[in-house]
Amino acid sequence: MYETEAAKVFSEELVAWYRRGNRDLPWRRTKNPYYIWISEIMLQQTRVDTVIPYFNRFVERFPTVRDLAEAPEEDVLKLWEGLGYYSRARNLQAAAREIADNYGGMIPADKTVVSGLKGVGPYTSGAILSIAFNLPEPAVDGNVMRVLSRYFCLEDDIAKPATRVGIEGLARELIPEGAAGDFNQALMELGALVCTPRSPHCLTCPVMEHCAARLAGRQEELPIKTKAKKPKPQHRLAVLIEDSEGRVLARQRPEQGLLAKLWELPHIEAPFEAWSSQDAAPEWLKTTLSLEGMDVRTTEYLGSAEHVFSHLHWFVRIWGADRVSFDGSVRDDMDQVVQESAAANEAGAGAAAGAEAGVGAEEGIRAEAIVAAEAGTSAKELPDGYRWIDLEQFEKLAWPNLFRSILSEHFASK
């Protein structure tokens, strides 16, 4: 379809440009398909300079597919912490387990297998197969669609799936024989460094002489892309509950959905009127949390934070609290309850609880006492998914960036 001089020059010049000098990135120093796969997943929606230290730590901790497959999920999420889009990490581990179980821990040079892995779409599949195995498969992402839309002056909306399919077909035709990996990486490199979304650096482009958009003076207006909807604003109230030992009450999110299995402060959605009012917010927080079985006593407004997801924009206001109950009764006399709990557990109940949690007998008694004090009953455990955490535990658990930032500041102030 594109057997023209412009197409021929494009492929030849682009590969030559890439081979003359490209960025020295850690995943480019190997043809290991596992490392290339890890890098491509991390690079989704994330800048290269952000990914590099995460990639290095990740492959050091999980150097093989089998190491990743056998790791505790919480370890994987902890290493991923800060990259966002945590479903990528879960899908990565699920796919690693499939490879370990069905293919001896080795990623095969098989398009059907690779494209069928959880979390692997057409772009990632093409990148792995072309870069690791030099198979002539296109790897089309936003950078590539922008480059090809400009070079061939394509006016189709790149936000539409049909356009992506068409550009994948075009990219496949352009792959030079025996150079699939370098060609695809050259396209990515050109889009990232030269043919940028705004103010493209046309004068340094290796294929500028045949670029149809530049020749028509349209490089700034292409590609055509329908604007995505803005993330929906959502106002939320969070509560930072601290016990007498300076520990903070945290909860783990459900196994499915947004930020699945990450830890956070208890928080609820609120209408703007309640969220923005210093008087109404504490009452809304208390009333709504009571529907979840929590009874809290707020103390003061601590500050605000926000985080933007692909579809949501969270605006969070944080309130402090000094008491909490999960059955309606609240107690202030923490030290007295500690003594009562210790006496009640002389027979060893406290030690057993501590042993189950991986702590000593004295620590187990203390932990159970704190729970009892906060719950207002003796020997009462926190509900599933809740935990008192200190600084050491905080550093071990995986948190969304929003709550990691809030709690980092909180513990640093102590």
In the chain, what are the domain boundaries?
A: 5-215, 232-412
Domain 232-412: top CATH class: alpha beta
Show which residues are catalytic: 40
Average pLDDT of the chain to the nearest whole number: 87
Check: CB of residue 285 under 8 Å from CB of residue 319. yes
The tokens describing 219, both together, are 């490089």
According to the model, what pLDDT value does residue 1 have?
44
List, for residues 333-391, the tens digit of each pLDDT value.
333 333 333 333 333 333 333 333 333 333 433 333 334 334 332 224 688 899 999 99
Cα 126 from Cα 168, distance rounded (Å): 10
On the 0-12 / 13-18 / 19+ scale of CB atoms within 10 A, 275 is: buried
SS3 assignment, position 399: coil
CA 346-348-351 angle, to 5 degrees, is 110
According to the model, what pLDDT value does residue 228 have?
83
Entry pTM: 0.76
According to the model, what pLDDT value does residue 3 have?
52
Q: pLDDT 10s per residue in the chain (414 long)?
A: 455 778 889 999 999 999 999 999 999 999 999 999 999 999 998 999 999 999 999 999 999 999 999 999 999 999 999 998 899 999 999 999 999 999 999 999 999 999 999 999 999 999 999 999 999 999 999 999 999 999 999 999 999 999 999 999 999 999 999 999 999 999 999 999 999 999 999 999 999 999 999 999 999 999 999 988 899 999 999 999 999 899 999 999 998 899 999 999 999 999 999 999 999 999 999 999 998 889 999 999 999 999 999 899 999 999 999 888 886 443 333 333 333 333 333 333 333 333 333 333 334 333 333 343 343 322 246 888 999 999 999 999 999 999 999 999 999 987
List, for residues 6-19, the tens digit of each pLDDT value.
888 999 999 999 99
- Length of the chain, please? 414
Query: If you search the block for the tokens 């990490």, which residue do you land on?
Result: 89
Strands 232-241 and 312-325: parallel
Query: If you search the block for the tokens 């030690």, which residue do you land on?
Result: 351
SS3 assignment, position 268: strand
CATH fold of 5-215 reads Endonuclease III; domain 1 (1.10.340)
